Structure 1
Amino acid sequence: MNLLVQTSTDDGTFHGPSITEFFPDIVLFEGTGFDINRIMLIRLLAVLALVIVFWLGTRNMKMVPSRFQSIIEMGLDFVRVNIAEDLLGKVDGKRFLPLLTTMFFMIFTMNFTGIIPGLNIAGTSVIGVPLVLALISYVTFIYAGIKKSPGKFFKNSLFPTGVPWPVYIIVTPIEFISTFIIRPVTLTLRLLMNMVVGHLLLVLFFAATQFFVFTLGGWFIAMGAVTFAFGFAFTLFEILVALLQAYVFTLLTAVYIQLAVAEEH
């Protein structure tokens, strides 16, 4: 699947992007139980690129850092200061920093593949990665709560203090659904749908450009220039979305952990 998809058929009509683009054909190991399609290959490349970047940036640390080392340290400090320590404090922030850092940079890198020529689709645009990350966030939240207050975590989560006991008939089911069901679902869907919609819009703009310029021609080339300008602007916007979604997902994970380790638990 390329960014410039087939936009017209023999009758000259325009065909925009479809949801089938998120279910590409198998490209490696078909029928072996380890099938790899194009999106899975992009995920593997994103992880490999992330490992290489951090290995190159940290293999020869110096007191006076190089420009590349400074960029890596700025990225790590951003997660440490603005997410981990800001929400969890120095002790718990340091404790959960490896998880939060890995989550932030993994999501950003896989989001960013959506605008890289030749890749053109985010590794987070199919539910597998967002769901796994949401489950990791969910399990970490529960682990942190049980570790902090064994025997009291679920009680305090489902039966908040200061509520008259008859009201628990209403409050407890709501707390259960909102805390233990809605959180992982919203984490998954927020990341997934942003990447799906972003990809479809980019394909639509650039496919329309191809259709106007190469299929219709003539005065429609001016329309192609307009759709190309929108596509270029939205590509820049997708960079911001890629970063923002990584930040929001990691921030919410830290918020949930903070709620689990709060003193009232």
Structure 2
Amino acid sequence: MTLASTLAAVSGPPSPGPADFNLPAIALGVTKPMVLVVLSAVVIFVVYRAMSRPAAVVPGRLQFAGELSYDFVKGIARDNIGGQEYKKYLPYLFATFLFILLNNLYGIIPFLQFPTMSRFGFPVALAGLAWVIYNVAGIMKHGFFGYLKHTTVPGGTSGPILIIMVPLEFFSNILVRPFTLALRLFATMFAGHLLIVLFSLGAQYLIFNSGNALYIVPGILSFVAGIAISFLDMLIMFLQAYVFTLLSAMYIGGAIADEH
């Protein structure tokens, strides 16, 4: 056996990594994540249009499912923005929740199997939109300089300590928030998909390509572990959509609050 064949025999399956997320263009520079993002908007519109069309006093199953999801996000908005102000931001929060959730769930849907939020540009765009909305909301409520004071000067704080607190509050509330929103969503979707790819490739190699019958059992275990991780990832997909929506509502509520 040559050195090359020996290395090939022990090298194992190809190691998954960031390159697995750089999908080739389908046509004219259009990639699979781009198609999935557009598809999600179409699916959400069509499904919720169908859910809302009956508008019956006693809802059917489809209408009930739509109202249940709407009430879920409505509770998030009402609890964190409060008053009647939450109604202005409810459509944005509802659309954000559905959009993130569906794009996350793509990662476990057969044949699609790619969470678009694992591409950093999409979470960045959503976090940037949230940043613009809550800052504009605060400026409209308090005025530019009033909002700047509102968001950088902690209530009840005065004296020399403000020399330290004001830059920290500005850095935390104005600069860091969109990065943490984007990074949290991206990192969890990236890591979850990478784990599923790892166990899937490992199972395929151990069962079909290892050339050793003794590896079939660990291959099956790897396959089962991949399925278990998929169910766990499904929960995380929902939680990340919830957390992003919750934090967006909290930031809006904090921006328009009368007291810091």
TM-score by length of 2: 0.92
1:257 pairs, out of 230, 246, 252, with 252
* Unaligned ranges ≥5, structure 1: 1-7, 30-34
The within-5 A match list for 1:111-130 is: 111-130=104-123
Structure 1 residue 94: Cα displacement: 1.0
* Matches of 2:239 and 2:161, distance apart in 1: 39
Q: Which residue of 2 is the match for residue 24 of structure 1? A: 23
Work out whether residues 28 and 37 of structure 1, in 8 Å CA contact, stay in contact via their aligned partners in 2: yes
Alpha-carbon RMSD across the aligned residues, in angstroms, is 1.7
What code does the residue aligned with 2:66 have?
Answer: I
Pair 1:242-2:240 in alignment: no
* Matches of 1:260 and 1:90, distance apart in 2: 14
Structure 1 residue 251: Cα displacement: 0.2
Q: Which residue of 2 is the match for residue 222 of structure 1? A: 217
- Name the one with the larger helix percent: 2
Structure 1 residue 51: Cα displacement: 1.7
The within-5 A match list for 1:49-64 is: 49-64=43-58
* Matches of 1:153 and 1:67, distance apart in 2: 45
* Cα 1:28/1:90, change in 2 over 3 Å: farther
The within-5 A match list for 1:98-113 is: 98-113=91-106
1:155 pairs, out of 149, 160, 177, with 149
Structure 1 residue 263: Cα displacement: 1.1
Work out whether residues 122 and 199 of structure 1, in 8 Å CA contact, stay in contact via their aligned partners in 2: yes
* Matches of 1:49 and 1:59, distance apart in 2: 15
Work out whether residues 12 and 205 of structure 2, in 8 Å CA contact, stay in contact via their aligned partners in 1: no
* Matches of 2:49 and 2:227, distance apart in 1: 32
* Matches of 2:133 and 2:220, distance apart in 1: 48
Q: Which residue of 2 is the match for residue 187 of structure 1? A: 181
- After superposition, the C-alpha distances for 1:182-202 in whole angstroms (9 at most, x for unaligned) are 100000000000000000000
Pair 1:134-2:118 in alignment: no
2:69 pairs, out of 75, 80, 90, with 75
Q: Which residue of 2 is the match for residue 5 of structure 1? A: none
Pair 1:205-2:199 in alignment: yes
* Matches of 1:163 and 1:75, distance apart in 2: 41
* Matches of 1:23 and 1:12, distance apart in 2: 23
* Matches of 1:86 and 1:259, distance apart in 2: 12
Pair 1:233-2:228 in alignment: yes
Q: Which residue of 1 is the match for residue 4 of structure 2? A: none
* Cα 1:86/1:162, change in 2 over 3 Å: closer
Pair 1:47-2:46 in alignment: no
What code does the residue aligned with 1:183 have?
Answer: R
What code does the residue aligned with 1:51 have?
Answer: F
* Matches of 1:158 and 1:90, distance apart in 2: 24
TM-score by length of 1: 0.90
Work out whether residues 138 and 256 of structure 2, in 8 Å CA contact, stay in contact via their aligned partners in 1: yes
* Matches of 1:23 and 1:200, distance apart in 2: 13
Aligned residues between the structures = 252
Q: Which residue of 2 is the match for residue 32 of structure 1? A: none
What code does the residue aligned with 2:17 have?
Answer: S
* Matches of 2:155 and 2:184, distance apart in 1: 31
SS class of match (1:62): coil
What code does the residue aligned with 2:117 have?
Answer: T
Structure 1 residue 23: Cα displacement: 1.4
| Identity percentage of aligned residues | 35
* Matches of 2:10 and 2:228, distance apart in 1: 31
